[in-house]
Amino acid sequence: MSVIRQRILENMQKFSRAMIGAVLFLPVIGLILALSSVLTNPTLISETSFLHQLGQLLGDTFWPLFGNLGLLFCVGISYGLAKDKKTEVALVSVMCFIMFLGANHSWLEHTHGLAEKINGEYYGTGQTQLLGFVVVDMGVFLGIILGCTIAWVHNKVSTIELPGALSMYGGAKLTLVAMTPVVIFYAIAFTWIWPFMTHGIAALTGFMKNAGVAGVFVYGFFEKFLIPTGLHHFVWSPFQLTQIGGTLNVDGQVVSGTQAIFLAYMRHPDLTPVMNEALRFSQQGMTTIFGLAGASLAFYHTAKPEKKMMAKAILLPAIITSMLTGITEPIEFTFLFVSPLLWVIHATLTAASQAICDIFTVRPWGASGLIEFLIYNLPLPVSLTRWPGYVLIGIGQFAVYY
């Protein structure tokens, strides 16, 4: 039993590392889009200026990445989980993703299931347009499912070399051949399955969204608690990247997810007096700036005198990384396996801080580290985000963690 448990834990950790490889690009993309939003904010910079045009260009350059996150996750996960021939599996993942889009669109068309646009958009139809194909809207989960499947198949068949004239189809090319029926099966099956899956996911996340402060607490707890398994991505991604997190109509265009909504506010800060309620689910970064800093200081002060230099060498770079960028694994994994109970407390305190932010309607962008926090929030009116309240709650969190 312990062997099975160990294997499950190892596989979850591999999945988590593969997810991180793709996720770590999101803050970079988000920061550039935040800069774009600042430059195109008419209250800060004239619409006729060069800087405004530069901001528009940056936005038009990077927004398509947010529109195709599924492809990025597919490539990143398959690359991260592949045991060898990683370059080839990345190429195969791109081909399989496009193959899925073509097959899914074809099946929807064949079964007369293609949706009609509503006010020029596919929002609300359960379908979306990706790379020119109208397909079932699976969001980032399409990339996650395909990426995991491609990596698994690749690890099984990529070492097989075919004899004679068939040798050119061996190795990584065999992965593509083996994935072809799988992709077609997925394309057909998800046409029927995903609407039911969507209802199930919406029910779970719907509780978090509609249960008020309790929902925010549950969201915060599981988003943190599940980090070692990689399953936390299924908690935050629907809120941050899809309509489950909320929607907002801006100039006739519907934006979905907490991050896209916040970026829309950066371009149009006068949309509402107080930030949209979708931002209730974007405060998990408080722990990266304040809470873990308090915990690190406590670890250092309680270390034995002869171990203080070692503790400092381990904790200082880890907490600097956490505070500035929001990358918490270096510091969190130092105590996760030493004290699982401490991990439960950590998740509980993280959730409590987010719930307190919701109680006091504190809604800045606080999903990551200090750099992102400053770039996103300082250009906006304080009355909109109420970010000073975030700092005050964070100071209290620092003290509690310490």
Residues 290 and 204 in one domain: no
Residues 98 and 197 in one domain: yes
Residue where a domain terminates, one of 154, 177, 210: 210
What are the beta bridge partners of residue 254?
Answer: 249
Distance CA 342, CA 165 (A): 59
Q: Which residues contact 126 (CB under 8 A, 6 or more apart)?
A: 115, 136, 137, 194, 195, 198
Would you say residue 9 lies in a domain?
no
246 contacts 258 by C-beta, under 8 angstroms: yes
Residue where a domain terminates, one of 174, 191, 210: 210
Q: Which helix (H) or strand (E) holds 51?
A: helix 50-67
Domain region containing 284: 280-401
249 contacts 320 by C-beta, under 8 angstroms: no
Domain count, the chain: 2
H helices present in 138-271, as ranges: 140-157, 172-210, 212-225, 233-241, 258-267
Residues 119 and 199 in one domain: yes
Locate 389 and state its tokens: 């309240």
CB hemisphere CA count around 16 (13 angstroms)? 18
Distance CA 59, CA 341 (A): 44
Residues 186 and 105 in one domain: yes
Would you say residue 300 lies in a domain?
yes
Give pLDDT tens digits along the chain (402 positions). Answer: 567 777 777 777 777 777 767 766 766 776 677 777 778 777 678 888 898 899 889 888 888 887 788 898 899 889 988 888 888 899 999 999 999 999 999 999 998 888 787 666 676 567 888 888 989 888 778 888 999 999 999 988 887 777 766 767 777 788 898 999 999 999 999 998 887 766 666 677 778 888 889 999 999 998 888 876 656 767 887 888 777 788 887 777 778 788 888 888 887 887 787 888 888 888 888 999 999 999 989 988 888 888 888 888 878 877 887 887 777 766 786 676 567 788 899 999 999 999 999 999 999 988 778 878 888 888 888 888 899 999 999 999 999 999
Residue 27: the pLDDT is 64
Would you say residue 24 lies in a domain?
no
Residues 206 and 111 in one domain: yes
Note if the pTM is more than 0.75: no
Whose CA is closest to 88, among 17, 219, 179, 21? 179
Residue 170: the pLDDT is 72
Residue where a domain terminates, one of 210, 229, 247: 210
Q: Phi/psi at 264 (nearest 5 deg)?
A: -65, -35
Q: Which residues contact 86 (CB under 8 A, 6 or more apart)?
A: 79
Whose CA is closest to 240, among 224, 255, 226, 254? 255
Residues 187 and 96 in one domain: yes
Would you say residue 379 lies in a domain?
yes
Residues 206 and 305 in one domain: no
Residue indicated by tokens 């906006």? 380
Q: Phi/psi at 249 (nearest 5 deg)?
A: -95, 120
Would you say residue 369 lies in a domain?
yes
Would you say residue 303 lies in a domain?
yes
Rg (CA), the chain: 23
Would you say residue 75 lies in a domain?
no
Q: What is the DSSP letter of 121?
A: B
Residues 202 and 291 in one domain: no
Would you say residue 97 lies in a domain?
yes
Q: What is the DSSP letter of 278?
A: G
CB hemisphere CA count around 180 (13 angstroms)? 5
Residue 39: the pLDDT is 82
